[in-house]
Amino acid sequence: MKITIVGTGYVGLVTGACLAEIGHNVFCLDLDPHKIEILNNGGVPIHEPGLLEMLNRTREAGRIQFSTDIKASVEHGEVQFIAVGTPPDEDGSADLQYVLAAARNIGKYSNCFKVIVDKSTVPVGTARHVHKIVAKELKARGLDTSDKHRFSVVSNPEFLKEGAAVDDFMRPDRIVIGIDDDADGQRAREKMKRLYTPFNRNHERTLYMDVRSAEFTKYAANAMLATRISLMNDLSNLADTVGADIESVRRGIGSDPRIGYHFLYAGCGYGGSCFPKDVQALVQTARENGHRLRILEAVEAVNDDQKEVLVNKIVKRMGEDLHGRTFAVWGLAFKPQTDDMREASSRRLIAALLERGVTVRAYDPVSMQEAQRVFALDLAERPEDIKRLHFVKTQKEALTGSDALVIVTEWKEFKSPDFGHLKSELKMPMIFDGRNLYEPEAMAELGIDYFAIGRPHVELDSNGNRN
């Protein structure tokens, strides 16, 4: 099938590459000429494991192309995926300007029956707006409603985890498709069924439903996962107060099959492109409809507070005045296996440390370039602070001359460091761990002052016994 993907961000590029991988002829459109230049020169503008290799295969096979030509993109695809960004507006609602602009362009150049697929995460009712805009553009061109100019708008939300997006697409646990119950919708259903046939050969993974329910499903899924994270973070703070170990609690409740272990890790707050904006957008949708999602309002508030937890631990241990101190920071991206800095906990942490006079030596295996860009914007009005932020080339280099280490992202290479070298390099030595990578007692035995999230601070006496 001939497929068009509008937008070459995480969702669009992964969707395009994976559909080309299984044999479809894919046209990827983006209005950013720099992105298209990178892609046409054999590169990739984002970091996602396995994506570059897949793009190289499909480029070589001639099944994927990249362009800024809007007219050619619309004429190419019988199925038009809209996979553009929906950033949060000032009130937290999803900004649909890019989605609606894509719909407008499809209406301007449509030349046959089109299935228009909302792949972007969009509020309930967006498909209706897209339908109206396309119909308006067709009418402005003086086109009738003959078979040639008909279309259907489908909701097909993505469920991709950054860092595992290619695997998630190629091995989906479900494919959600929302389709209108009319003749055009049934025609669209047949095309979508054909499109996703390779993913349903072992067993049927596709869930068909009405469009509004499909739109809602994506928000509901992210809201549920964000709720689990914030609940565990809230419990971890109580565990700190009462002397419980949140890791033991996690194992205790996760063993219940009704709960499970997924998304039960305490930490220093969630970030990225999905959870923060989708929780905000769902809360705002509720307000617009005269309803309050009180649990999600609390989820958002807890997550916002959690991004201060490491700073609070540092201040409690070392005092409010940190002038002259130097901290190593391991991990900048919001999660491992990505260079995404959107809503990353490191941004709040580093800004707070710099504000208190700290010099920061920061390292991340992948996101250094993106981090430098982001912090240049974040600290644009704080030139004195940005002078004390140093991006270094290795995790060991970050330790050099540092008083203590702060861990923000749980990259695998941080899980088993050379503790002997770490202890010799740090002046204190001290670790503030925002991802609970190490065992408190083991750190105490090594002579490292270790502070984690919701885990006990262990001190040993001269005989190796707990104080």
User: Where in the sequence numbering do the catalytic residues fall?
Assistant: 274
**In the 8-state DSSP scheme, what is residue 456?**
P
Sheet containing strand 114-118, edge to edge, reads: 64-67, 25-29, 2-6, 79-82, 114-118, 151-155, 175-178, 206-209
Contact between 448 and 433 (Cβ < 8 Å): no
| Structure tokens belonging to residue 13 | 């590029």
Using CA atoms, how far apart are residues 17 and 373, in angstroms rounded to an integer?
A: 27
Using CA atoms, how far apart are residues 61 and 74, in angstroms rounded to an integer?
A: 22
Separation in Å, CA 255 to CA 72, 186, 260, 410, 413:
53, 43, 6, 23, 28
Nearest to 157 by CA among 181, 179, 135: 179
Residue holding tokens 């054999």? 42
User: Residue 66: enclosing H or E segment and its boundaries?
Assistant: strand 64-67
Using CA atoms, how far apart are residues 37 and 107, in angstroms rounded to an integer?
A: 27
| Structure tokens belonging to residue 303 | 């997550």
| Structure tokens belonging to residue 177 | 């498709």
Which phi and psi (to 5°) does residue 286 adopt?
-60, -45
Nearest to 423 by CA among 450, 451, 458: 450
| Structure tokens belonging to residue 233 | 């973070």
Please, what's the largest Cα pairwise distance for the chain?
89
Q: How far is CA 135 from the centre of its chain?
A: 33
Using CA atoms, how far apart are residues 160 and 344, in angstroms rounded to an integer?
A: 18
Using CA atoms, how far apart are residues 169 and 46, in angstroms rounded to an integer?
A: 17
Contact between 282 and 274 (Cβ < 8 Å): no
